[in-house]
Amino acid sequence: MEMHTILVPTDFSTYAEHALQEALAIASRDKAHVLLLHVLPFLTFTWADEWSLARPQFEEKIQRDAEQQLQTIAAQQTVPIEALVLWGDPATIICDVARTRPCELIVMSTHGRTGLAHVFIGSVAERVVRYAPCAVLIVRAFPAHQP
């Protein structure tokens, strides 16, 4: 499979950093470029009336900070990286970006949640694997615990 674009979603965790390193190795080998994506979940808390004017500025600051983090990561790499910050449900946005910006591969991490944490929080990685329009490589940053 010839790679042109590799989508790498990040939440800036150490898990996501490990997935990025794997994606960079693949991109370097295949002369592909990386689309580094951070998805900001919609802010669901209610603002008091006196804060109503501050919410747009607050959201703009959050987005600018995330864009700056991505640009810092991109500047440290030798592989071409495009940075993108979007708002929404992470799994939905990741799949939408892979669909609209044709990607041959999504490389992402899993936090390895199990039990109740998995039931209540769910898994973005699991939903991406299920609905992505392309191949998905899930990178485990740390070995699984042996039973």
List, for residues 87-98, the tens digit of each pLDDT value. Answer: 999 999 999 999
pLDDT above 70 covers a percentage of the chain that reads 79
Find the length of the chain.
147
Give the lowest-confidence range in 32-46, 109-123, 125-139: 109-123
Give the lowest-confidence range in 3-12, 19-28, 50-59, 95-104: 50-59
CATH of residue 82's domain is 3.40.50.620
For residue 120, CA distances in Å to 40, 60, 66 come to 20, 29, 26
* Residue 144 in domain: no
Domain count, the chain: 1
Dist. CA 2–CA 97, nearest whole Å: 19
* Residue 146 in domain: no
* Residue 54 in domain: yes
For residue 50, the model assigns a pLDDT of 52
Residue 26 tokens read as 């693949």
Secondary structure class of 91 (helix, strand, coil): helix
For residue 4, the model assigns a pLDDT of 92
User: pTM, whole model, 2 decimals?
Assistant: 0.83
* Residue 109 in domain: yes
Residue whose token pair is 């790679």: 3
